[in-house]
Chains A and B, each alone.
Chain A
Amino acid sequence: MRPLIEIHNVSRSYGAHVAVRDLGLAVPAGQFVAIVGASGCGKTTTLKMINRLLEPDAGEIFIAGEPTHSLPAHLLRRRIGYVFQGIGLFPHLTVAGNIGITPQLLGWAREKIAARVTELLELVSLPAELASRLPAALSGGQRQRVGIARALAAQPSIMLMDEPFGALDPLTRDTLGTEYRRLHERMGLTTLMVTHDVLEAVLLADRIVVMRAGVIVADGTPHELMQGHGDDDVRAMMDMPRRQALRVADLLDGKPARG
C-alpha cells in the first residue's frame, strides 16, 4: 500500500539559508513519527510544508496519493490536525467555539458541532462545564488539551504536532503525552511530531527521524537508534535517554548512580 504521507525531494530556503535540502520521507498510515534535531535543523519547516503553512521551493508532497497543491491550502488544512507549542487558542471564542471552529468552517450543522465538542472534551479529559469558558480562564495544560481537541474536531486522519508539550510543566507534559499516544492508537491516527526532547520521542513514537542542517541523518525505531549509530551526533543524542534510564534504575535500586 502506498504511504499516507510522501515527501519527495523537498527543499526550502529562507534567503541564503537553506532550511530543508532535498528531503525525502514516507510515512505509512497509523505510524507515530517523531522528528528530532537541534534548533534550526529544519524540522518545523518540514512539518509546516505538509499542511502548506509554508510552501516548498522545490519537490512535492503527496497525501493519500494526491499532491498537496491539488486543492486550495485552506481546504487541505481543514483535513489535517495541527497542534503547536504556542497553541493559539482564539481568545475571543469560548472553549466550545475554539474546538468547533474547523467543523464550522466546513459547514457542519450546529447540533452536530455541539455533539462533537462534547465528545472531544471527554476524549481529552476536560470537564464539560469548561465548554462555555474563555481560554484566559484555563490552565496551561487545559489549554493544550483544548488545542488537541480543536485539531481533532473535524476527524482528520493526520495530526501534525510542533513541540506540542514544550511549554508545559514536566508532570502535565508526561500525562498529556501518554494520553495523546492512547488517542493516536484508538483513533488510528497518523502522527508527525516535532520535538527537541529525545526522551519524549523515544517514549511516544514508533519511529524517530533525526535531522541536521536540513537533511535526515538517521531514521529508525527508538530501539534501533538506541543500539548505536554511525553518526557521532546521533549516537550521542540517542545515548542520553539510555544513560538517564540506567541512572534512574540505579537510584531506584539504592545503588550509586552511574556517571
Chain B
Amino acid sequence: MDDSVAAAWGLLPHYLGEHVLLSAAAMGLGLVLSLLLTVAAVRSARVRWPVLLFASVVQTIPSLALLALFYPLLVALSSLTDRLFGIGFSALGFLPSLLALTLYSMLPVIRNGVTGVLNLDPAVIQAARGVGMTDWQRLTRVELPLAAPMLMAGVRTAAVWVIGAATLSTPVGQTSLGNYIFSGLQIQDWVSVLFGCVAAAALALIVDQLLGLIESGVATRRPARIAIGTLALAAGIAAAALPRSDADAHYVIGAKSFSEQYILSALMAERIEKEGGSATQRVGLGSVIAFEALAADDIDAYVDYSGTIWANVMRRTDVPPREAVIAQMREWLAHEHGILLLGTLGFENAYALAMRRDRADEMRIRSIRDLAAHARSLTMGADFEFFARPEWPALRDAYGLDFAARREFQSTFMYQAIASGEVDVITAFSSDGRIATNDLVVLDDPEGAILPYDAIVLVAAGRANDPLLRRALQPLVGAIPVELMREANYRVDRDTDKESPLAAARWLAERALP
C-alpha cells in the first residue's frame, strides 16, 4: 500500500505535466475555435443551428470513442500528407488526444456564448448601432464584454470536462493522469486507480476555482482578480512545460493494456537503459493501435502474439503449424511494413477456454469437445475482443459450441466472475498467473482450432537495424519459459503483496537472463 502510494507520487510530475499540457492545449485551441463559431452563430441564424447541432452531436459521442476515432483518421491523413508532401506525422499520442478534447471543449463555450450574446438587452444593441459602431466594434466593445461572464461560465464547464476526459487519452498513447487509472485497473492496483482519480479531480477543482476567480473578475469588472487567476493558470502551464529528464528519451516501447505487457515493456526499457540508451513506455495501447503505432514508427518496439498478427493484421483464417506461422509472418511483416520480427520470447499466451476445477470435475469436462455437450446450460465470459475475433467462429464451428448466454468483461472482472460462479467458462490466456491462483483448468483443444499465440518481439522499420536495440532485446529471444512468465504475471496480478510491473520485470530478468 505505502509502496503503491510512493510509486504513484514518483510518477506524478510526469503524468500531471503531460495532463496539464494536453488539457491546456485543447482548451486553448477549443476556445479559439469556439469563439469564431460563436461569432458566426450570433451573426447568422443560418449558421447558428448547424453549429449548435454539431457541438451537441460531438458531446453525445462517448469520449473514449471520440479519442479512438481520431487515430485511424490521422493515420490516413498522415499517409496522405506523406504521399503529397513527403511529410508524415505521428497519429498516436498527443495529436488525436488534442483534437478529440478540443472538440469536446466546444459545446459549453459556444452554447453559453451564443445564449449570452442573443439574450443581451435589445436596447443596448440598438444603441450600439445608433452611436455609429461597425459590426466588429459592436461585437468587441459591447456584445462580447457583456456576454463575457456567461462565456466564462462555459469555459469553466469545458475545462472541467476536458481535464476529466483527458484521462481517457492513455489508450491512444498519450501519457496523462489516466495512466494511473488504466494500469491500476489492469493490475488491480486500486490505490493507483484512486490516486489517478483524486489527482484528476484535484486538478479540475483547482482550475475551476482559478477560472471562477477570473469569471467573478469579469462579472464585477475587477481586473485584479482576472490578473491573479490568469497568472496562476499561466504559471501552472509553464511549470508543466518545463523540460523533464525523460523528454529526450531515445526509444519508445509500447505495451497493450494488460499486466504481462506492462512487465515486458518495463523489461525491454530496462534492457535498453542497461545498454546505455534511454527509453519511455507508451502503455495501455489498444491491441490494434499498438500494431499500427509500430507500423507508423510511433513506437520502436513491443511484444505481440503470433495469432493476433496472423488473424487480425494478416487476415488469415487458416491454422498452419506454429513454425510455419512464424516464418510466413516474419516475411510478411518485413515485406509489407518493414517491421522486424526479432524472435519469439519462448512462451505462448494463447486464448484458452478455462473452467473452475470443481465445476469441470463435477461435469467431467476435460476438453472443449466435452464442453460442447454441456454448453447449452452454461454461460460463457470473454474479454471485449474475443467474440469479434476470428478464433471464436473457428472454435464454435469446430466443436459446435452453443452457450446459453455470452457476457463480456474487462479481464480483471472476468476472473472475478468465474470465481463467483457468475459465468461457467471464460477465455483465459495460457500465460496468465490467475489460472493457477483461481484454481482453473485449461480445456484441451483436440481439434487444434485455436491459433498458436507465441509472444514475439516486433521492431519498427525505422529501428530494424539499430544496433543498441538489437543488443538490448536479442538476449530476450527464447529466454522466457511460460512458467516464469506466469509467475511474473502472478506477482503483479495477485490480490495481496502485489508487485509493480517494474519489480516483476526485474524479478523476471534475474531468472531469464543470468
Chain A residues within 8 Å of B, Cβ to Cβ? 51, 53, 74-79, 82, 84, 86-92, 101-102, 105-106, 150
Do A77 and B127 contact each other (CB < 8 Å), given the known contacts A90-B142, A92-B221? no
Annotate B325-354 by CB proximity to A: 1 below 8 A, 0 otherwise: 000000000000000000000000000000
User: Who on chain A is nearest to B218 by CB?
Assistant: A92
Q: Are A75 and B126 in contact (CB under 8 A)?
A: no
Report Cα–Cα, A82/B132, bound state, in Å: 10
Report Cα–Cα, A112/B124, bound state, in Å: 25
Residue B201 is within 8 A (CB to CB) of chain A in the complex: no
Q: Are B131 and A51 in contact (CB under 8 A)?
A: no
CB distance from A119 to the nearest CB of B (A): 18
Inter-chain contacts of B127 with A (CB < 8 A): 84, 86-90
Report Cα–Cα, A105/B127, bound state, in Å: 14
Task: Please give 19 more A-B residue pairs, beta carbons under 8 A apart, in addition to A88-B126, A88-B128.
Answer: A51-B130, A74-B129, A74-B133, A77-B132, A78-B132, A84-B123, A84-B127, A86-B123, A86-B126, A89-B127, A91-B121, A91-B124, A92-B142, A92-B146, A101-B131, A102-B132, A105-B131, A105-B132, A105-B133
Residue B276 is within 8 A (CB to CB) of chain A in the complex: no
Do A53 and B129 contact each other (CB < 8 Å), given the known contacts A90-B124, A91-B124? yes
Q: Are B129 and A77 in contact (CB under 8 A)?
A: yes
Inter-chain contacts of A76 with B (CB < 8 A): 132
Inter-chain contacts of A101 with B (CB < 8 A): 131
Q: Are B124 and A88 in contact (CB under 8 A)?
A: yes
Inter-chain contacts of A84 with B (CB < 8 A): 123, 126-127, 130
CB distance from A150 to the nearest CB of B (A): 7
Residue B134 is within 8 A (CB to CB) of chain A in the complex: yes
User: Who on chain B is nearest to A106 by CB?
Assistant: B132
16 contacts between A and B (CB under 8 A): A53-B126, A53-B129, A53-B130, A79-B132, A86-B122, A87-B123, A88-B124, A90-B128, A90-B142, A91-B124, A102-B131, A105-B131, A105-B133, A105-B137, A106-B132, A150-B131
CB distance from A110 to the nearest CB of B (A): 16
Q: Are B126 and A74 in contact (CB under 8 A)?
A: no
User: Who on chain B is nearest to A153 by CB?
Assistant: B131
Interface centre among A75, A76, A90 (most CB of B within 10 A): A90
Report Cα–Cα, A64/B133, bound state, in Å: 22
Inter-chain contacts of B134 with A (CB < 8 A): 74
Annotate B2-14 by CB proximity to A: 1 below 8 A, 0 otherwise: 0000000000000
Q: Are B123 and A82 in contact (CB under 8 A)?
A: no
Q: Are A91 and B126 in contact (CB under 8 A)?
A: no
Report Cα–Cα, A150/B128, bound state, in Å: 11
User: Who on chain A is nearest to B136 by CB?
Assistant: A74
CB distance from B236 to the nearest CB of A (A): 29
User: Who on chain A is nearest to B221 by CB?
Assistant: A92
Residue B145 is within 8 A (CB to CB) of chain A in the complex: yes
Q: Are B146 and A91 in contact (CB under 8 A)?
A: yes
User: Who on chain A is nearest to B132 by CB?
Assistant: A78
B: interface residue count bin: 20 to 34
Q: Are B132 and A74 in contact (CB under 8 A)?
A: yes
Report Cα–Cα, A254/B134, bound state, in Å: 59
Q: Are A78 and B123 in contact (CB under 8 A)?
A: no
Q: Are A82 and B130 in contact (CB under 8 A)?
A: yes
Q: Are A77 and B131 in contact (CB under 8 A)?
A: yes
Inter-chain contacts of A53 with B (CB < 8 A): 126, 129-130
CB distance from B354 to the nearest CB of A (A): 69
Q: Are B121 and A88 in contact (CB under 8 A)?
A: yes
Inter-chain contacts of B123 with A (CB < 8 A): 84, 86-88
CB distance from A194 to the nearest CB of B (A): 14
CB distance from B222 to the nearest CB of A (A): 13
Report Cα–Cα, A150/B122, bound state, in Å: 18
CB distance from B440 to the nearest CB of A (A): 70
CB distance from A158 to the nearest CB of B (A): 13
Report Cα–Cα, A78/B137, bound state, in Å: 13
Inter-chain contacts of B131 with A (CB < 8 A): 77-78, 82, 101-102, 105, 150
Please provide the chain B residues from 131 to 161 with a CB less than 8 Å away from any CB of chain A in the complex: 131-134, 137, 141-142, 145-146
Report Cα–Cα, A51/B126, bound state, in Å: 12
Report Cα–Cα, A79/B132, bound state, in Å: 8
Report Cα–Cα, A88/B120, bound state, in Å: 11
Inter-chain contacts of B132 with A (CB < 8 A): 74-79, 102, 105-106
CB distance from B271 to the nearest CB of A (A): 63
Report Cα–Cα, A106/B126, bound state, in Å: 19
Report Cα–Cα, A59/B127, bound state, in Å: 25
Annotate B90-130 by CB proximity to A: 1 below 8 A, 0 otherwise: 00000000000000000000000000000001111111111
Report Cα–Cα, A91/B142, bound state, in Å: 9
CB distance from B121 to the nearest CB of A (A): 7
CB distance from A181 to the nearest CB of B (A): 22
Report Cα–Cα, A75/B121, bound state, in Å: 24
Inter-chain contacts of A88 with B (CB < 8 A): 121, 123-128, 130
CB distance from A146 to the nearest CB of B (A): 11
CB distance from B189 to the nearest CB of A (A): 52
User: Who on chain A is nearest to B129 by CB?
Assistant: A53
Report Cα–Cα, A92/B221, bound state, in Å: 8
For the complex of A and B, list the 7 residue pairs with the smallest distance between their C-beta atoms, beginning with the closest.
A88-B127, A86-B123, A78-B132, A88-B123, A82-B130, A77-B132, A88-B124
User: Who on chain A is nearest to B126 by CB?
Assistant: A88
User: Who on chain A is nearest to B146 by CB?
Assistant: A92
Report Cα–Cα, A91/B137, bound state, in Å: 16
CB distance from A44 to the nearest CB of B (A): 11
Inter-chain contacts of B121 with A (CB < 8 A): 86, 88, 91
CB distance from B125 to the nearest CB of A (A): 8
CB distance from B138 to the nearest CB of A (A): 9
Report Cα–Cα, A12/B123, bound state, in Å: 22
Report Cα–Cα, A166/B140, bound state, in Å: 31
Inter-chain contacts of A150 with B (CB < 8 A): 131
Inter-chain contacts of A87 with B (CB < 8 A): 123, 127
Inter-chain contacts of A51 with B (CB < 8 A): 130
CB distance from B120 to the nearest CB of A (A): 9
Q: Are B145 and A92 in contact (CB under 8 A)?
A: yes
Q: Are B130 and A77 in contact (CB under 8 A)?
A: yes
Please provide the chain B residues from 270 to 290 with a CB less than 8 Å away from any CB of chain A in the complex: none
